[in-house]
Amino acid sequence: MALQVAFFVTSHGFGHAARACAVMYQLRQMYDDIHFHIFSSLPTHVFTLELIGSAYFYNNSIDVGVKQNGALDFDLNATARSLEVFLSGFDADAERLAVQLHALRCDWVICDIAPLGIAAATYLGLPVVLIENFSWSWIYSGFQYDHPVLRDAIDKFDSVRKMAGLKIQASPCFFTDDADYVVAPISRPVLCPPGDVRVNLGISPGEKLVLVSLGGFQYHMRNMATAAARQGVRYLVLGQPESWHEGNVIALSTREYVYLPDVVEACDAVVTKLGYSTLAEVWASDTPVAYLSRAEFAENAILEEFVVESLCSLKLTREELDEGHWVSRVADVLLVERSKTRRVSGAMQAAVHIKEWMSGN
């Protein structure tokens, strides 16, 4: 009989879907017949079907996270308003989801950060695994923003988090004494050889390729004329309002699907904001990175320390990004010799720990 596994994925950014897919892929290698039931309000196209195989999707708002105004700015007032509504219905939503899990005959539950999934699994008495690099309580406590609903959310989510039977923290992460395991950064496997990726993009063998990606949010890159005119370097810019091609720049809209691990493996440098998933893919391929720091986010300091210690990197400012000055600065990291060996993803480690723990439940 097929193993039925519910996977609750926080909707705060596409990177959590990427991490969940990496873990599901490794679990598929360990179990002959496993089916996933994915609960999230993320669009289904961000879940890579080549990795997760048989999956069913349920569009549910399972957490609030932090409301953002685009790729680089957040809105704490909107976050507080959404949290107030979410917390008022939390227990009823957990019970409703528990009924659904029972009807689906789920054997166990995995949650990427999402506390509502932990509460639903606990209501049924199902084994539940938590995978995290941060908790919402930790994120909210890092904001210099005193609001009663944030304090309520911290208390509620802290109490729910303790209900998880197995806690796996994915580096780079905030560390807690109650974590059962800390694994390497969780990245997805490469599916297409780098040479094929470059050919598909029209990149000549002698050209350098720079990937520009600020996550799943749309961010209009301005002042691209310098990049368009630069000889010997091509730029693949993701997350644009529309797709276009000018000079050495290939810009793709948010409607264009790109499997990021393949492109990261094929490029010579990455320009990105500090975010877990992209950095995990960059770390796995040991690609030089130019990054934009976001000091307002609690996880920023941890991610920046990780980048500085483990990757060839340089820090960009928001002004450099907006004015196009990043183009000349990124030229420095293009001179760095890359390692030819991929690092081992923490997804395998996480899957092994999950299988061992589930065998005892």
In a domain, 324, yes or no: yes
Instruction: Give the model confidence (pLDDT) of 23-58 as tens digits.
Output: 999 999 999 899 999 999 888 888 888 888 879 999
Question: Is 33 within the bounds of a domain?
Answer: yes
267: domain CATH number is 3.40.50.2000
Backbone angles phi, psi at 213, to 5 degrees: -145, 125
Answer yes or no: is 272 within a domain: yes
Q: Would the CA dihedral through 101, 106, 108, 114 be positive or negative?
A: negative
Residues 155 and 11 occupy one common structural domain = yes
Do 97 and 208 fall into the same domain? no
Same domain as 264, residue 310? yes
- Establish if 8 belongs to a structural domain: yes
Q: Are residues 216 and 302 in the same domain?
A: yes
- Note whether 77 and 61 are same-domain residues: yes
- Give pLDDT, residue 222: 64
The answer to whether residue 152 sits within a structural domain is: yes
Count how many domains the chain has: 2
CB 87 within 8 A of CB 153: yes
Note down the domain range covering 72: 3-186+346-359
DSSP-derived letter for residue 147 is -
* 118: Cβ contacts below 8 Å, ≥ 6 apart: 8, 109, 111, 128, 130, 160, 161, 163, 164
Tell whether 211 and 177 lie within a shared domain.
Answer: no
Note the pLDDT of residue 94.
96
- 111 and 8 in one domain? yes
Per-residue pLDDT at 30: 95
232 assigned to some structural domain? yes
What's residue 228's pLDDT? 64
Residue 300 and residue 222 in one domain: yes
111 and 230 belong to one structural domain: no
* Single-letter amino acid, residue 10: T
Q: Is residue 20 part of a domain?
A: yes
Domain presence at residue 340: no
Q: Are residues 131 and 258 in the same domain?
A: no
Q: Give the closest residue to 149 by CA, choosing from 162, 140, 159.
A: 140
Residue 185: the pLDDT is 96
| Alpha carbon distance 201, 317 (integer Å) | 29
pLDDT in tens, 282-299: 999 999 999 988 777 777
> Residues of the chain whose pLDDT is less than 50?
none
Q: Could you give the count of Cα atoms lying within 13 Å of 76 in the half-sphere of its Cβ?
A: 14
Regarding whether 52 and 199 lie in a shared domain, the answer is no
The edge-to-edge listing of strands for the beta sheet with 3-9 is: 55-59, 34-40, 3-9, 108-112, 128-132, 166-170, 181-183
**In this structure, are 125 and 260 located in the same domain?**
no
Q: What pTM was computed for the model? A: 0.91
